[in-house]
Amino acid sequence: MARRKMKTTRPKQERAILVSSTPKRGRLLWNPQDSLDELAELARTAGAKVLDRVSQRVPKPTQEYVGKGKLEEIKRLCEELDVDTVICDDELTPTQQRNLENALAYSGGHAERKVIDRTALILDVFASRARTREGRLQVELAQQEYLLPRLAGQWSHLDRLRGGAGGGAGGGIGTRGPGETQIETDRRLVRGGIQKLKKDLENVRRHRRLHRSKRTSNGIPVVSLVGYTNAGKSTLLNRMTRAGVRAENLMFSTLDPVTRRIQLPSGNPVLLTDTVGFIHKLPTSLIAAFRATLEEISESTLVLHVVDVTHRNAPEQVTVVESILDDMGMNGVPTVMALNKADLLTQSANGHMDNLPDIASGPADAVLISALKGEGIDDLLKKIESRLALDGAVHSDAFLAPSRA
Could you tell me whether strands 269-274 and 302-308 are parallel, antiparallel, or unpaired per DSSP bridges? unpaired
The CATH architecture of the domain made up of 15-118 is 3-Layer(aba) Sandwich (3.40)
Domain boundaries, the chain: 15-118, 219-390
In tens, the pLDDT along 359-384 reads 655 566 899 999 999 999 999 999 99
pLDDT for residue 360:
55
Give the other-Cβ count within 10 Å of 132's Cβ: 12
Element (H, E) at 260: strand 258-263
pLDDT at 39: 96
Cα–Cα distances in angstroms (integers) from residue 36 to residues 29, 90, 379, in the given order: 14, 10, 36
pTM (predicted TM-score): 0.79
Nearest alpha-carbon partner for 205 in 311, 88, 290, 84: 290
Closest to 276 (Cα-Cα) out of 292, 260, 261, 262: 292
How sure is the predictor about 353, in pLDDT bands with cuts at 50, 70 and 90?
low
Does domain 219-390 correspond to CATH entry 3.40.50.1370? Answer: no
293, pLDDT greater than 80 = no
Helix (H, G, I), strand (E, B) or coil at 353: strand
How sure is the predictor about 215, in pLDDT bands with cuts at 50, 70 and 90? low
Closest C-alpha to 360, from 398, 395, 310: 310
Using pLDDT thresholds of 50, 70 and 90, give the confidence band for residue 234. confident
Residues with Cβ < 8 Å from 335, sequence gap 6 or more? 302, 303, 304, 305, 363, 365
Task: Return the axis-axis angle of helices 377-390 and 233-241, rounded to nearest 10°.
Answer: 90
DSSP-derived pairing of the beta strands 258-263 and 269-274: antiparallel
